[in-house]
Amino acid sequence: MTEVSMTVNGKPVKADVPDNTLLVQFIRENLRLTGTHVGCDTSQCGACVVHLNGKAVKSCATLAVAANGADVTTIEGLANGEMHPMQTAFKENHGLQCGFCTPGMIMTATDMVARYDANGKELTEAAIREELEGNICRCTGYHNIVKAIADGASKMASS
């Protein structure tokens, strides 16, 4: 067991966990933040994507102990009294059906928008599709997710 402390959605958290605890287990089982999902558990599907020190990572392929001292944002940390612009965009563009992949999609989406913005690059439709390489949706066929991310990007720029 190792004592792990980190900041999750702006709040300091601490727990004793076995060293083989995955970050996603820590988030879901210790913190009871169940918005972050486990889909494939083989780091293919991206349902478990969270931001670790501001970067999108797969929390099923990260150890909780390795995130000691880190700043973590989960889907629960995006809304601030009202929905995050990207969440609104997913709702308005029907960017989800069953919703299982959606937390990972939105965390990936906000990460890509931030990166493209920081690098001064245009987030084209082709770029969005390329950036979604690590996120799988079995319902939508992706078209509305891509539309939602483009809309969310412009909503984020104007908010």
Q: Which is nearer to other proteins, 131 or 151 (CB)?
A: 131
Residue closer to other proteins by CB (options 83, 149) is 149
Question: Rounded distance, CA 130 to CA 138, Å?
Answer: 17
CB 74 within 8 A of CB 49: no
Nearest approach, Cβ of 51 to other proteins (angstroms)? Answer: 10
Q: Tell the smallest beta-carbon distance from residue 81 to other proteins (Å).
A: 28
CA distances from 76 to 1, 31, 84, 119, 147 (A): 27, 12, 10, 27, 23
Cβ atoms of 74 and 9 within 8 Å: the answer is yes
Given the DSSP bridges, would you call strands 55-58 and 71-73 parallel, antiparallel or unpaired? unpaired
Residue 49 engages other proteins in binding (rule: CB under 8 A):
yes
**Residue 22 binds other proteins, judged by CB under 8 A:** yes
For other proteins, the binding residues in 93-152 under the rule CB under 8 A are 108, 111-112, 115, 119, 131, 133-135
Q: Which of 68, 124, 141, 154 binds other proteins (CB under 8 A)?
A: 68
- Which tokens belong to 120? 């001064």
Question: Residue 159: in which H helix or E strand, if any?
Answer: none
Residues that bind other proteins (CB under 8 A): 2, 18-20, 22, 41-44, 46, 49, 52, 55-58, 61-63, 65-66, 68, 108, 111-112, 115, 119, 131, 133-135
